[in-house]
Amino acid sequence: MANEYLAVIERYFVLLLGRGLMLSATDVALVEEWYQAQIPADLVCRGLASGANVFRDRNGADTPLPAALHRYQSFVEDAVQNAPFSVQPVAPVGSGLVSAENEVLTTGSPAESPLPPALPDAPCWIDTNDTDSRRQGTYVAALQAFREHQQSGDYEEATLAAQTTALSYFLSQLSSDERAQVEDSVEERVAPERGKLGRRGLQLRRRAILQNELQTRYGLVTERTHDA
């Protein structure tokens, strides 16, 4: 299984849960099944997000989400069944799956049409022309996620999906040391506020701090700036 595929899904799921650092061995085995079935990572993440929404609707926003990946398997299957044929795997620039011209390729398949530099209503922070390879690959993945979720007609959901994909994708591109530094800094900054926030509030605060850390350290913008 490609390390990039596992890393994208792992970081997305951890961000979705708001806790934990990595998948269990059982979870990794399920990701391997999805990889062997050639299910694009973006579709897996879409299914995970859909499952999380259903669990929260049923049990309340403050109820912890199930931490076992198999609990979301049916939602991933639904995402696959409902996906248009044009959906392609998320992959980093330079990996052989995304070319320098932003052509998205399937393994062993001809290139699809080049990904557009932007969509008219895409979040303004998505810059697929960024000259930094890690940020560029992240913005390409975010644009793919936005385009997919936009089909539901919910702009807010599509924007959140793009943002979550960007955060998880960029984290997957960091080295182990870089990622550890970011995670340690996030936990250190959120620690004084733990007693003041509920579970959901803590998740949102941790996410906001992570966005700030990645922008400060690496120049990754994942939200509209005040002067935009």
Assess if residue 105 is contained within a domain.
Answer: yes
| Residue 201 belongs to domain spanning | 3-218
Domain membership of residue 70 (yes or no) is yes
Q: How many domains does the chain have?
A: 1
Residue 225 lies in a domain: no
Residue 72 falls inside a structural domain:
yes
Instruction: Using alpha carbons only, give the angle 178, 198, 189 rounded to the nearest 5 degrees.
Output: 30
Instruction: State whether residue 104 is helix, strand or coil.
Output: strand
The per-residue pLDDT string of the chain (228 residues; one tens digit each, 9 = 90 and over) reads 667 788 888 888 887 787 766 788 889 999 999 988 888 887 888 888 888 888 888 888 778 889 899 999 999 998 888 765 444 444 333 333 332 233 332 333 323 334 444 455 788 888 878 888 889 888 888 887 788 777 767 788 888 888 888 888 888 778 888 988 998 999 899 899 888 888 778 878 888 999 999 999 999 999 875 444
Q: Is 226 within the bounds of a domain?
A: no
Spatial neighbors of 171 by CB under 8 A, at least 6 apart, are 11, 179, 182, 214
The DSSP call for residue 72 is: G
Indicate whether this model's pTM tops 0.75. no
Domain contains 120: yes
In a domain, 192, yes or no: yes
CA distance 183 to 217: 12
| Angstrom distance (rounded) from CA 228 to CA 224 | 6
Provide CB contacts within 8 A for 34, sequence distance 6+. 9, 44, 76
Decide if 183 contacts 211 (C-beta within 8 A).
Answer: no
How many CA atoms within 13 Å lie on the side-chain side of 34?
Answer: 32
Q: Does any domain span residue 142? A: yes
